[in-house]
Amino acid sequence: METNHNGQTEPSVEKEIQTDFQQEMSYGDYLHLDQILSSQHRLSDHHDEMLFIIIHQASELWMKLIIHELSAAIESIQKNDLEPSFKMLSRVSRIQQQLIQSWSVLSTLTPAEYLEFRDKLGRSSGFQSYQNRLIEFALGQKNKHTLAVYQHDEKLHTRLHEDLNKPSIYDAAISALATRGLPIDQDVLKRDWSQSYQSNKSVEDAWLVVYQDVNQYWDLYELAEKLIDIGSQQQLWRFHHMNTVERIIGHKKGTGGSSGVTYLKKVIDQQFFPELWSVRTKL
């Protein structure tokens, strides 16, 4: 303990703690905090614009991690090595919970406060989040028409086009069913990956076998439940997104030109991994 100039006792720094970073990498250096924390540029003088910026920037960082985990999980499943994917998918589900919680923070923004700086956003909109689009692609919901939003950026447009034409994690899971000898229609296994996945009876029947014989197909069963977790969380994220938007702007059009809440309500009806839901009725 040490005594400061006011005569108060303060804890001293442990002698082993590094304090000289002239030649060493610091915490801030490693995380590039100078870049991250200087990237919040308000376009208005309104206090709450900082909240709006940080919520969306933080969400994009979490989305980056989701894409990182989903990509690795898909690769693992395609190698017929399912177990490593379980940890990755559990992590995705936890990240989704963080994203869902972020809407409750943003909902502290009132309609009157948002109107003070909404015009400063121009035509920018969350609809344009390419990482959210990549997540949807990875989960099996594809829409080639959305790529038009990114045609101004050739590199980004190419990345999205490539991912549009890749198998989703559900496609990888269905292939895993076939690898284990469960009969899957060939038109599902060799389908056009750029199209959104559509429900198929042979896939439902295969999942039914898995759920009826958990001991034999434990890894496939575990994979199915991990996917259900992710699909559920993604729908919750969409619902809270819609609810927050309605709370703040009502049924105004989105800044990017969408119908706003009306569009977001339609998106909620788009279910992920359909047979994993329908099979529950068949059990």
Ligand-binding annotation for 86, yes or no, is no
Ligand-binding annotation for 255, yes or no, is yes
Ligand-binding annotation for 238, yes or no, is no
Which amino acid belongs to residue 249?
Answer: I
Q: How far apart are CA 52 and CA 122, in angstroms?
A: 14
Q: What sign does the CA torsion over 39, 43, 47, 52 have?
A: negative
Ligand-binding annotation for 248, yes or no, is no
Q: Residue 169 CB: number of other CB atoms within 10 A?
A: 27
- Cα maximum dimension of the chain: 80
Nearest Cα to Cα of residue 201 among 210, 188, 212, 190:
188
Ligand-binding annotation for 114, yes or no, is yes
Which string of b and e fits 81-111 if b means at least 16 CB within 10 Å? ebeebbebbebbbebbeebbebbeebeebee
In this structure, are residues 134 and 66 in contact, taking their beta carbons and an 8 Å threshold?
no
Ligand-binding annotation for 228, yes or no, is no
Q: How far apart are CA 14 and CA 12, in angstroms?
A: 6
In this structure, are residues 200 and 188 in contact, taking their beta carbons and an 8 Å threshold?
yes
Q: How far apart are CA 257 and CA 248, in angstroms?
A: 17
Ligand-binding annotation for 46, yes or no, is no
- Binding-site members for substrate are 52-56, 114, 118, 255
- Binding-site members for heme are 241
- Binding-site members are 52-56, 114, 118, 241, 255
